[in-house]
Amino acid sequence: MIATTHPLPTVEPIRVPGVAWLAVAVAVFVVYLMLQENGALLASSWNTLHELFHDGRHALGVPCH
Amino acid sequence: MHWSYGSVIRRALGAGAVVGVLLAAYLYAVVEPVIDMAVALEEAASATGAADGGAARHDDPLFTRGEQVGGGMAATFATAMVVAAVFGTVFAAVRHRLPARSDLPRALWLAAVGFATVLLIPALKYPPSPPGMGDADTVGERTVVYLICLSASVLIAIALTRLYGTLHARLADHTRVVAMGTASVVAYALLLVVLPAAPGSVEAAVPADLVWDFRVRSLGGLALLWLGLGLGLGWLLDRHADRTSDRQPVAPGP
């Protein structure tokens, strides 16, 4: 893949808008709340989230009990 | 073929939706049977009073097992969509630097890097575990070390990419591949050695073969997630590019 005899074609970079990175950051935060939150940010409702997504947490390899 | 960000992310999210549905079905059919066995063992242990804090939370369940299965499937689908959004955005940003001739091998290459960095490295140190293994009192602590491992793994991958660019001018191709392989092994081995072991995880109550079975099934599903995203995005992009290039040469007729 790397050591090819023919040079690889040059590819024009895609411009990624700043708002896309913002949306990605928000999406990652939502997954954090869904899979990782154990009381660090949410005072009262974290246990509900933890228990509802319990099976998903285990299956996706996130620390659980 | 030149792509806009929008046309890449739409295809990434489309692939993510299909993979998400498949992964939710995989959770239901492949992972849940093992989770059920582990939960049954956990409940039997807490009924005889043998278990300590770890199982105590399940004495007064907030949700039925059926609701937890539904919640797990929803979480799986949502996670696939978010990973697809991140994957599509990073793919758009680094596409011109990925070493391949078309988008299918480019996307597969990035998916392999993503799987190894985001999933495999943290899983080697803090592997997926069935219910009943982790102590509820240490779940916060385990989450912190897990997230540190994940972040460090991503930072190492970015540093290695930078190093690869720096070495481009100084080393021949073959030497550079060996140098990069060595640097990757050393950096990730150091990370795995330096990080602390997961606090209070393994409980003897869960049989080893059930733990192994669970880990293989969990990692299998996550490998399918990344493979599916790489294949899906790459195939959708190449298919469109093929169709467009098939049409173009016909135009300048006599």
First to last CA, chain B: 25
The answer to whether residue A64 neighbours chain B at the CB level (below 8 Å) is yes
The pLDDT score that the predictor gives to residue B204 is: 63
Q: Do B73 and B124 reside in the same domain of the chain?
A: yes
- What's the burial of B227, exposed, middle or buried (CB within 10 Å: 0-12/13-18/19+)? middle
DSSP 8-state secondary structure symbol assigned to residue A16:
P
Whether B254 is in a domain gets the answer: no
Mean pLDDT of B60-73: 86
Cα Rg of chain B, angstroms: 22
Neighbour tally for B133: CB within 10 Å = 25
**How close A57 comes to chain B (CA, Å)?**
7
The pLDDT score that the predictor gives to residue A13 is: 92
At residue B38's C-alpha, the angle toward residues B217 and B222, to 5°, is 20
Q: Based on DSSP, count helices (H) and strands (E) in chain A, helices before strands.
A: 3, 0
| Full domain range(s) for residue A27 | 18-60
Q: Which of A30, A60, A63 sits opposite B142 (nearest CB)?
A: A63
Whether B58 is in a domain gets the answer: no
- Structure-token pair, residue B150: 């994940």
What's the number of CA atoms in the CB half-sphere (13 Å) around residue B160? 21
Q: Do B85 and B166 reside in the same domain of the chain?
A: no
| Full domain range(s) for residue B3 | 1-52+63-133+205-249
Whether A2 is in a domain gets the answer: no
With a cut of 50, say whether residue B38 has pLDDT above it: yes
Q: Which of B2, B72, B139 sits opposite A53 (nearest CB)?
A: B72
Whether A12 is in a domain gets the answer: no
Number of domains in chain B: 2
With a cut of 50, say whether residue B104 has pLDDT above it: yes
The pLDDT score that the predictor gives to residue B51 is: 45
Find the helix or strand (DSSP H, E) in which B174 lies.
helix B173-194
- Structure-token pair, residue B7: 């046309």
What is the ipTM, given to two decimal places?
0.85
Chains A, B: CB contacts within 8 A come to: 164
Whether A7 is in a domain gets the answer: no
With a cut of 50, say whether residue B57 has pLDDT above it: no
pLDDT digits (tens, 9 = 90+) for B197-216: 887 655 566 888 999 999 99
Number of domains in chain A: 1
The pLDDT score that the predictor gives to residue B249 is: 53
In this prediction the pTM is 0.88
The answer to whether residue A29 neighbours chain B at the CB level (below 8 Å) is no
Q: Do B117 and B153 reside in the same domain of the chain?
A: no
The pLDDT score that the predictor gives to residue B54 is: 45
The pLDDT score that the predictor gives to residue B168 is: 84
Whether A3 is in a domain gets the answer: no
Rounded CA separation B222/B217 (Å): 9
